[in-house]
Amino acid sequence: MKYPIGIQSFDRIIEGGFVYVDKTDLVYSLVKEGNIYFLNRPRRFGKSLLVSTLKNYFLGRRELFKGLKIEKLEKEWAEHPVFHIDFNGDNFTQAGVLERKIEGRIGMWEEEYGRDANALTVGDRFVEVLRRAHERTGRRCVVLVDEYDKPILDVLDTGTRMKVGENEWLF
């Protein structure tokens, strides 16, 4: 038996033949019974693996779920536009890193779905990307944010000032 120590990628676990505890019936319930979730759990509690599982599910990667509970539950296996951002791996104590990370990701999505020259703020640009993705695919968009707390934890108790738009915070 191969255990996926430190692996937080659903597709790597499945394709690598690692042990996987099947909770995909709960993923199916989560998806079908609600629409917006904020999952706040302790570190090393499986949030990143869950986000990766959701990403593959919404990308319609049925082959990864072969033999799992969700395979029998899901009938449609539709592909949705997935917008995934992971804040792990960056050093947010350096000025501008958070802004560059978000700008870069939105810029990448704009390359795929187009950019509206009238959308000036980062928030407006993201809304426009979501609108265009929905318009192009006819499917609801899925937004997945992993390690959402990393930028805050990096600067907590450092005396760092962070300014986003009109707002400024001291950490």
- Statement: residue 162 has pLDDT above 70: no
DSSP state of 138: S
Q: What are phi and psi of 116, to 5 degrees?
A: -95, 115
**48-78 burial code (b ≥16 CB/10 A, e <16):** bbbbbbbbbbbbeeeebbeebebbeebeeee
Segment 83-114, tens digit of pLDDT: 999 999 899 988 889 999 999 999 999 999 99
Cα–Cα distance, 5 to 97 (Å, whole number): 29
Q: What are phi and psi of 60, to 5 degrees?
A: 75, 25
Segment 61-73, tens digit of pLDDT: 999 999 999 999 9
pLDDT reported for residue 164: 67
Strands 82-86 and 142-146: parallel
**Cα torsion angle, 113, 118, 121, 127, sign:** negative
Cα–Cα distance, 31 to 145 (Å, whole number): 16
Supply the pTM of this predicted model: 0.88
